[in-house]
Amino acid sequence: MTWTSSLPRMGDIVRVKVRFYHHYGIFLDEETVVQFGMPDNSGVDPKDIAVMVTDIDTFLNGGELETARLSVAEKVKRFSPRKTKELALNRVGETGYNILHNNCEHFVNECVFGRHDSFFVNSVREEIRDKCNK
């Protein structure tokens, strides 16, 4: 998966840079981005972080939009945009946020690929393992 500045389409993964990480969402249209939590959840009780629908400006919070460009293999594996939309909207209101084990990146990967995965968390884990195994 690579990231571009191109305009997203329904069912695309979008992200915005927030300090040292990215916040992810599922783009449906300019009024409808489904995201797990907000770009900045500082000060928010994790119990109150939920899957929600906002417009694109709220999702971006002044940041720059990036749209996922899937590889050929990823395009084959992903759910249809319509199914992604259905999955995302069906989870609105869901809680259980955990930055390590159930974050916004996990959410979008579940909606698009049916896979509970966070590249960011995985890469930090790899980095830690490399350091500990030196």
Residue ranges that bind another protein, judged by CB under 8 A: 19-21, 42, 45-47, 97-101, 121, 124-125, 128-129, 131-132, 134
First-to-last alpha carbon distance for the chain, in angstroms, is 29
Place of tokens 């997203």: 8
| Residue 15 beta carbon to another protein: minimum distance, rounded to whole angstroms | 17
**Cα–Cα distance for residue pair 60/39, rounded to 1 Å:** 7
- Shortest distance in whole angstroms from residue 130 CB to another protein: 10
Nearer to another protein, 71 or 98 (CB): 98
The H or E element containing residue 15 is strand 12-18
CB of 107 to another protein, least distance (A): 15
Between 75 and 131, CB nearer to another protein: 131
C-beta of 99: minimal distance to another protein in Å? Answer: 7
Q: Report the C-alpha dihedral over residues 101, 102, 104, 106, rounded to 10 degrees.
A: 80
Residue with smaller CB distance to another protein, 74 or 126: 126
Count of beta carbons in the 10 Å neighbourhood of residue 70: 16
Q: Rank residues 15 and 78 by Cβ distance to another protein and give the closer one.
A: 15
The total of other beta-carbon atoms located within 10 Å of residue 132's CB is 7
